[in-house]
């Protein structure tokens, strides 16, 4: 016969309840720790590598001859080219003789940037194309215009990007950050493939991502359906998608002899950063890179012989960089890129 003491019985039940609660909350606690580590690891890694002083240190290993190549006769498209890294990229390519097509949303700011580049470089083969990259239809119209001229595209620079703190929808009903950073990047790249193929084997797509992607895994929640919208996290997610898309494009189109590269410009002092992250810009005042320093690796990627580059790679300060930081549990998330590609095909109406 077994006897149950009321105190022992209640104490045992209480212990079992506590153990059960711990077991149920353990996954959430583990996820909390992982998320906290991602942010901390990104912050430390970024402060050590992404600042102006880090660029100056890394530049000691740069080769001057890498940037001496000319681009006469080559056609380059740069999105978001009216300010910041896009403007510096467009000017850098134009100064080397390329025909540069600046894709901008604002006609007024685009014309001012166009005049600045032509004046600074003496290159009159710089053109302005007006397109709102949050609109799939406008991107398709732009691509059709290029296609009708049959212009081979040697370099497509996907630079345009935004970070809206509050949830905003485009007229088509897409979350704004996603519409520009992901769907816009996907749509213009897919639309330009035939023209990129015309310029092969020298053609390449360079996508300006962000180190912010280190703080986020790939997720199928592309338009951030969570109740408490976080614009900074959505931006990080968008940039992770861009890096994973670059990998996928390199795999899918290797037979077309088009190179696909993503890059990170470091923490640069640009109008976009000042507008979207004023607190960050203030805290790191004097430590941020110039737009020219941020654009350096974009131009470097445009100039290098393709045999020196790894298609699908992620580049930073003229060298291939890791896509994942240690113990952040982001690497395995890239396995869902196929389903994300399917979603983007459906939303854009453009098949691969």
CA–CA separation, 295 and 154 (whole Å): 18
CA–CA separation, 4 and 312 (whole Å): 66
Per-residue pLDDT averaged across 31-52, rounded?
89
* Helix residue ranges per DSSP H, 175-328: 176-178, 185-198, 231-252, 271-276, 278-283, 291-303
Task: Work out the percent of the chain whose per-residue pLDDT is above 90.
Answer: 80
Please state, rounded to an integer, the average pLDDT across all residues of the chain: 91
CB atoms < 10 A from the CB of 235, how many? 25
Per-residue pLDDT averaged across 333-346, rounded?
97
Residue 19 has pLDDT above 90, yes or no: no
The answer to whether the beta carbons of residues 130 and 197 sit under 8 Å apart is: no
User: pTM score, two decimals?
Assistant: 0.90
Per-residue pLDDT averaged across 203-225, rounded?
96
Residue 14 has pLDDT above 80, yes or no: no
Residue 107 has pLDDT above 80, yes or no: yes
Per-residue pLDDT averaged across 35-44, rounded?
89
* Helix residue ranges per DSSP H, the chain: 6-49, 52-58, 84-94, 107-121, 136-149, 176-178, 185-198, 231-252, 271-276, 278-283, 291-303, 337-348
pLDDT tens, residue by residue, 167-184: 999 999 999 999 999 999
Task: List the domains of the chain with CATH numbers.
Answer: 33-348 (3.40.50.720)
The answer to whether the beta carbons of residues 272 and 262 sit under 8 Å apart is: no
Catalytic residue among 101, 186, 214, 235: 235
Single out the residue of 138, 129, 136, 142 nearest to residue 99, CA to CA: 129
Ramachandran region, residue 135 (left: φ > 0; alpha: ψ -120 to 50; beta: rest): beta
pLDDT at 190: 98
pLDDT at 25: 52
Residue 28 banded pLDDT, cuts 50, 70, 90: confident
pLDDT tens, residue by residue, 247-277: 999 999 999 999 999 999 999 887 777 677 7
pLDDT at 281: 66
253 tagged catalytic: no
pLDDT at 259: 98
Per-residue pLDDT averaged across 285-292, rounded?
91
Per-residue pLDDT averaged across 7-24, rounded?
45
């Amino acid at each position: 016969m077994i006897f149950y003491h009321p105190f022992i019985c209640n104490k045992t039940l209480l212990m079992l309840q506590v153990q059960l609660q711990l077991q149920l909350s353990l996954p959430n606690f583990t996820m909390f720790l992982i998320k906290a580590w991602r942010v901390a690891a990104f912050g430390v890694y970024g402060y050590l590598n992404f600042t102006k002083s880090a660029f100056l240190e890394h530049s000691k290993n740069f080769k001057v001859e890498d940037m001496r190549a000319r681009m006469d006769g080559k056609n380059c498209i740069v999105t978001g080219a009216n300010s910041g890294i896009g403007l510096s990229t467009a000017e850098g390519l134009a100064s080397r003789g390329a025909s540069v097509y600046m894709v901008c949303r604002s006609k007024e700011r685009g014309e001012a940037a166009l005049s600045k580049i032509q004046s600074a470089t003496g290159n009159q083969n710089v053109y302005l194309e007006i397109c709102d990259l949050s609109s799939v239809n406008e991107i398709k119209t732009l691509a059709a215009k290029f296609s009708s001229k049959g212009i081979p595209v040697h370099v497509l620079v996907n630079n345009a990007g935004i970070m809206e703190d509050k949830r905003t929808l485009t007229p088509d009903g897409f979350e704004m950050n996603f519409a520009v950073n992901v769907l816009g990047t996907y749509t213009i790249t897919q639309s330009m493939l035939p023209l990129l193929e015309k310029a092969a084997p020298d053609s390449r797509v360079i996508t300006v991502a962000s180190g912010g992607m280190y703080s986020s895994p790939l997720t199928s929640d592309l338009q951030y359906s969570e109740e408490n919208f976080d614009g900074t996290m959505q931006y990080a997610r968008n940039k992770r998608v861009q890096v994973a898309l670059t990998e996928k494009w390199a795999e899918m189109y290797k037979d077309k002899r088009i190179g696909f590269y993503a890059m990170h410009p470091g923490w640069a002092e640009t109008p976009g950063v000042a507008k979207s992250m004023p607190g960050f810009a203030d805290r790191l005042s004097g430590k941020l890179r110039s737009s020219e320093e941020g654009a350096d690796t974009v131009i470097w990627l445009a100039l290098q012989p393709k045999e020196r580059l790894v298609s699908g790679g992620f580049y930073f300060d003229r060298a291939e960089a890791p896509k994942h930081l240690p113990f952040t549990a982001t690497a395995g998330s890239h396995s869902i890129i196929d389903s994300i590609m399917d979603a983007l095909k459906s939303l854009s109406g453009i098949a691969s």
